[in-house]
Chain A
Amino acid sequence: MNALFLAFAYLRHNWARALILVVAGALILSVPVVARMLIGATQDSLTARAKATPLILGARGSQLDLAMGALYFTDDRAEPVTMQAAEDVWDSGLAVPIPLLTAFRTGEAPIVGTSLDYVEFRGLEIAQGRMFAVLGEAVLGAGIAAQLGLGPGDTVISSPENLFDLDGVYPLELRITGVLAPSGTPDDDAVLTDIKTTWVIAGIGHGHDDVVTPDADGNVTADAALVQFNRITPDNIDSFHFHGDPDDYPVSAVLLDPHDDRSALILRGRYLDPDSPTRIVRPDAVIGELVERIFRIRSLLDAVMVIVGASALAAMGLALFLAWRLRAPEMQTAFRIGAGRLAIARLAAAEIALLLVAMLALAAGIVLVVTSRGDGLVAWLLALGR
């Protein structure tokens, strides 16, 4: 007790040095734990969306492009497939197909053409307004809505694919009907609309004035100019129509929600043929492998931490040793007064114990704070890479 009293008095008197030691020690103890935790949480966060998506149907080619495009709406998309692929799955009765067309953007945000099944499948909820219902309507993810400062009643315009391509895709104004609640997923930064609206953006569907106008005598004259509408309104919506066979319309990928494991297995079996233009991938396997490759850095991080930690501990040991040597006169006084080596060792041990307790407490505090704010920190870390 006396040793603790004396040790505490010494540390309190030399509080700045003690504080530096405690903070340094706490960081040495907590950083590896925190880093492992954050890496684990980031890994989970990266794979969570893949794990929540049983199967993806898309064009044969890069599995990674297909999975990344369908899950995260990345620019590196797989070649599109046709709606026939989704229809085939629907006809099989093995899964609910959810088509995605992610080829277009508005500014930096992807426009995701899909069906209302997607909203249910992802568990998305409307925070303001309502879900899109008719052609030309869209809902904004929480992140992009906050970023652009837009809400229900506002509009966004799809970006032209190529500004100088006269045959290219023309911008279409989308009317915002709602804003989604934050989900912590790429949906937060996306504009969701009906897939038919994205087909309009793609030029497959359009609306325009009548190309023929009867005169007073009933003679029909073809208009020289065909003006397409670049916004869909209640007045012109009826003029919108699509050309060609709907089964041939493009989709970037089809999310599959199998009814059960057996259905999933059967579906996967049906798309094993390497000559088939379409394939099914398991996104958790694809993304899991990618993330596992990325996070092999964890082993390197562990090694670096061991080296840095050992060096820092050695430096702390040296600091303690030198501090103890500076106190030689004090120890000499204690010895002359009658203290034995054991008493002096007990004093040293008490100081080290107090420092260790403080280090552990601070390290635990750091870990607790990081744990309690883990989701936010992971989201912030992931946002850094965007």
Chain B
Amino acid sequence: MIRLTDLRFAYPGGGFALNVPDLAIARGERLAFHGPSGSGKTTLLHLLAGLMPPDAGRIEIDGTDIAALPDRARRAYRAARIGFVFQNFALLDHLSARENILYPCRIGAGLRLTRAVRARAQALAEACGIADKLDRKPASLSGGEQQRVALCRALVTGPGLVLADEATGNLDPATRDLILDLLFDRVREAGATLITVTHDHAILPRFDRAVDFADLTGAAP
């Protein structure tokens, strides 16, 4: 269960303010935020990930107010509980697909590279149809394949919350639908909650709930 209460955030210098009076997201729910550019969707995603603390308010995830945690604890929480999928895939060119998937465990994000993690990475790659491409570098993979690698990377740590920032924004419709299928299936298997932000209204019906960001925050871009 995720609950945001009186959440307020403004970037230094002003010009933008995020204000979320109250929002509850059930465990396992698939939620999509949509709205115009600059409305604060990605900022909210970053607050949920603990990348930065809010100015005020609470972000409770399974009873823990991550807004009140110190930096180090927030980072540890993020590493252990949150998976991130980015629009631009954010894969590392110098690592193979396999090593990109295992990257969270190598970079010292509080996770150990165990045999179980390797087996989970292999299982995820097989489920996403990229098992035969694990030794290839990202540059030799298609956009859809790269996003599947990124998806496996987000899930390899077994997160309870998956945050996707325009995860299908760079993909053609067919690949987008395929990636969404994979994303939903893997999230469901993991029992995780999925929160995504998107501009693509075509995919909103596939989510349990689609929230117009302007309705949610009343924020002025």
Contact = CB atoms under 8 A, between A and B. Distances in A.
Interface of A: 2-3, 5-6, 9-10, 12-14, 329-330, 332-340, 342-344, 346-347
A338 B108 CA distance: 8
Nearest to A335: B51
10 contacts: A2-B105, A2-B107, A333-B90, A336-B86, A337-B153, A338-B80, A339-B107, A342-B108, A343-B107, A343-B108
Contacts of A332: 90
B99 to A, nearest CB: 7
Nearest to A13: B94
A10 B94 contact: yes
Contacts of A340: 72, 75, 108-109
Nearest to A342: B108
A235 B94 CA distance: 87
Given A2-B113, A9-B95, A12-B94, A337 B103 contact: yes
Contact of A6 (B79, B84, B106): B106
A338 B94 contact: no
B173 interface: no
Contact of B108 (A9, A336, A339): A339
Interface in B132-172: 137, 153
B78 interface: yes
Contacts of B109: 334, 337-340, 343
Contacts of B99: 9
B93 interface: yes
A14 to B, nearest CB: 7
A335 to B, nearest CB: 7
Given A6-B106, A12-B94, A339-B107, 8 more contacts: A2-B105, A2-B106, A13-B93, A333-B92, A334-B109, A337-B78, A343-B107, A343-B108
Contacts of B86: 333, 336
B123 to A, nearest CB: 20
A2 B109 CA distance: 11
A336 B107 contact: no
Nearest to A347: B107
A355 to B, nearest CB: 15
B76 A338 contact: yes
Nearest to A6: B106
Nearest to B113: A2
Contacts of B105: 2
B137 to A, nearest CB: 8
B110 interface: yes
Contacts of A2: 105-108, 113
Chain B CB within 10 A, most for which of A13, A334, A342: A334
Q: What 3 A-B pairs come out closest when comparing CB atoms?
A: A338-B79, A13-B94, A338-B109
A77 B75 CA distance: 83
Most buried by B among A338, A339, A342: A338
Interface in B69-83: 72, 75-76, 78-80, 82
B97 interface: no
A289 to B, nearest CB: 59
Contacts of A10: 94
Contacts of A343: 107-109
A373 to B, nearest CB: 38
B53 interface: no
Given A2-B107, A338-B109, A343-B108, A9 B94 contact: yes
